[in-house]
Amino acid sequence: MSLFDLSGRTALITGSSQGIGFALAQGLAAAGAAIILNGRSEEALTAAAKQLQDQGASVRTMIADVTDALAIRAAVDRLEADGIDIDILINNAGIQRRKPLEEFEIETWSELMRTNLDSVFYVSQAVARHMIARGRGKIINIGSVQCELARPTIAPYTASKGAVKNLTKGMCADWAKYGLQINAIGPGYFATPLNRALVEDPKFDSWLKSRTPAGRWGNVEELHGAAVFLASDASNFVNGQTIYVDGGILSVI
């Protein structure tokens, strides 16, 4: 089991004050990692950090907007200058906007792409430069089953997550030679704040449960295993892959 031990390693998780990001922080902390929570709200980050600390985790926070390339680079460089090596990066920050594509506003499209796609490049590049110098590092991008599927009213989200999947492969192509492993997790439908509107829609809830072989929504804790695997030495020869944690939804028509 030492292959999965994250003791002595530090993980930066973007968008981690709640939802999937916070759950991933809990999972990596339980495996021994020190955690850096990231978000834009100091209040939310402080509350999340206290909850993790109460569970015995080593936690610090990094208030930074991941859609601001210069700000995120400066924040990462400050941590590294203070002697905090970022061994693991999870690019989790993301938003959802629902509207028929013909009515989708240009600025909303740009906002979604900045958050879901541009930030993955900005943060990964800022962190990877330090990882490359050390000759090691793990980057995990959070995709979605929408890397592969589309549904009405979320075409821009689908486009952003499809791009994250291929950006993961591109990062592998450029950075694997330096000792980095870059992979992605593609969650299915989980009961999170991002999906609240769907969870509370009886028609969609019924459709999803009938469409998913497991017959239910996912629990965020069920992402811990994939995250720990990809963050640990157990995945040292796994690169450029997307692992779907979806209850089987991609396996059936």
| 157 part of the active site | yes
Task: List the one residue out of 180, 221, 231 whose CA is nearest residue 6.
Answer: 231
Residue-wise burial string across 183-216, b where 16 or more C-beta atoms lie within 10 A, e elsewhere: bbbbbbbbbbebbeebbeeeebbeebeeebeeee
**Angle subtended at Cα 244 by Cα 240 and Cα 245, rounded to the nearest 5 degrees:** 140
Cα–Cα distance between 164 and 251 in angstroms, integer?
21
Distance of CA 157 to the CA centre of its chain: 15
CB of 87 within 8 A of CB of 96? no
CA distance 183 to 171: 9
DSSP 62: E
Residue carrying structure tokens 């021994």: 32
Q: 239 with 169: CB under 8 angstroms? A: no
Catalytic annotation, pick one of 122, 157, 189, 244:
157
| Contact status, residue 181 vs residue 140, Cβ threshold 8 Å | no
Contact 224, 231 (CB under 8 A): no
Beta-bridge partner residues of 185? 142, 243
Please give the positions annotated as active site: 157
